[in-house]
Amino acid sequence: MAARPTVRAVRITADPSDDPNDYGFAHQVRVRFAETDAMGIVHHSRYLPMLEETRVAYLRHIGHPYSEVRAAGLDMSVLEVWCRYRKPLEFDDLVDVHVSVASVERASFQMTYLLTVDGEVRATGVTAHGCVTREGRPTRLPDWLREM
């Protein structure tokens, strides 16, 4: 049997702030009934699509929609995710998802998130991303992202 290649893991190092003023962008998401579980709260798995929706809205906001990234033959794969649940989200909550670029390396970057409802912290999170070609090979981040 051939040896499996060693994969260098990205380690999440960013520490998300609880202060909305520390974030450069916020996007509102309304909790849908289908996102709740049998206990009437948002299922833990449904937080990740909220982070993704906000990340895509942020890229659009700064003039680099994800469709532009893909047209350049790149993808920003999620390598790791970390989330701390502080207080449950519930059906029909209007969630402000704050996002900021926390760190940028040659081929990877990390983003921090703060989820609030009426200013109350509900969750924090971090995503680590790697830039890859369409063939899945790691590659350098675009200049505009490295310069952020």
Q: Does any domain span residue 135?
A: yes
Q: Does any domain span residue 88?
A: yes
Q: Does any domain span residue 104?
A: yes
Q: Does any domain span residue 7?
A: no
What is the CATH classification number for the domain harbouring 121?
A: 3.10.129.10
Q: Does any domain span residue 1?
A: no
Q: Does any domain span residue 76?
A: yes
Q: Does any domain span residue 129?
A: yes
Q: Is 8 exposed, middle or buried (0-12, 13-18, 19+ CB in 10 A)?
A: exposed
The answer to whether the CB of 68 falls within 8 A of the CB of 118 is no
Query: Which structure tokens are listed for 6?
Result: 């060693």
Write down the pTM of the prediction.
Answer: 0.91
Q: Is 96 a catalytic residue?
A: no
Catalytic residue among 22, 37, 75, 118: 37
Chain segment 90-120, per-residue pLDDT in tens? 999 999 999 999 999 999 999 999 999 999 9
Q: Number of structural domains, the chain?
A: 1
Residue 7 scores a pLDDT above 60: no
Domain span at residue 121 reads 23-146
Q: Does any domain span residue 127?
A: yes
Name the amino acid, one letter, at 138: P
Whole-number Cα distances in Å, 5 to 103, 120, 141: 27, 44, 23
Residue 4 scores a pLDDT above 60: no
